Amino acid sequence: MENPFDDVYFMKKALQEAEIAFDKGEIPVGALIVIDNRIIARAHNLTELLNDVTAHAEMQAITAAANFLGGKYLINCTLYVTLEPCQMCAGALYWSQINRVVYGARDPERGCIALNTKLHPKTVMVGGVLEDESAQLLKRFFIEKRNLN
C-alpha cells in the first residue's frame, strides 16, 4: 500500500498555513514539523502581528515542536516550509539538529542556499516540493500589497 503521508501531502498542509498568513496580511510562509508521519507543530509568519522580525514561520514551528517534544533537539523530525529558510531560520534549524528540511519556493536573494548558510551536517535539505504553488502565493501577496500602496 502506498504511504498517503509524503512530502507533497505535508507541503499542502504547510501551504494551508501560508494561506492563513496571507489572510492576516503577513508574508505568506507556512511551516510544519512532522515526526513519524505526525504533525507536531503548525505555524505561519507572525512578524507583523507580533512586531517581531524573528517571528518567521520556521521559528514559530521550531518552538512549538520543541515544547511538544519536551526538549530542544528535533532529531527524527522534518520541517516543511513553503519558502527556503533564511539565514536566521537556518541557524536555528542547525542548533535544533533537525533531520530534514523540505521547502517549496527558492529565495534566491535571502535564502540560506544563496547566503551559504550551513545546516547541521546530518540535516538533509530537499527543495522544490510544490514550488509553483508556493511561489504563486508569494507573488499574489506582493502584487496585492503593491496595488494597495
Question: What pLDDT shows up at residue 1?
Answer: 43
Q: Which CATH class is domain 7-144?
A: alpha beta
Question: What pLDDT shows up at residue 147?
Answer: 80
- What CA–CA distance (Å, rounded) separates 81 from 65? 14
Tens digit of each residue's pLDDT (9 = 90 or more) over 74-85: 999 999 999 999
77 is in an annotated binding site: no
44 is in an annotated binding site: no
Question: What pLDDT shows up at residue 137?
Answer: 97
User: What's the pLDDT band for 149 if we cut at 50, 70, 90?
Assistant: low
120 is in an annotated binding site: no
Tens digit of each residue's pLDDT (9 = 90 or more) over 22-46: 999 999 999 999 999 999 999 999 9
What cell numbers appear for 20 in the block?
492563513
Instruction: Give yes or no for residue 71 having a pLDDT over 90.
Output: yes
Q: What residues act catalytically?
A: 58
Question: What pLDDT shows up at residue 146?
Answer: 82
Please give, one letter per residue, the 3-state secondary structure of the chain. Answer: CCCCCCHHHHHHHHHHHHHHHHHCCCCCCEEEEEECCEEEEEEECCHHHHCCCCCCHHHHHHHHHHHHHCCCCCCCEEEEEEECCEHHHHHHHHHHCCCEEEEEECCCCCECCCCCCCCCCCCEEECCCCHHHHHHHHHHHHHHHHHHC
Question: What pLDDT shows up at residue 38?
Answer: 97
Give me the residue spans of the domains in the chain.
7-144
CA 149 to chain CA centroid, Å, is 28
Q: What is the largest distance, in Å, between two alpha-carbon atoms of the chain?
A: 51
Instruction: Give yes or no for residue 65 having a pLDDT over 80.
Output: yes
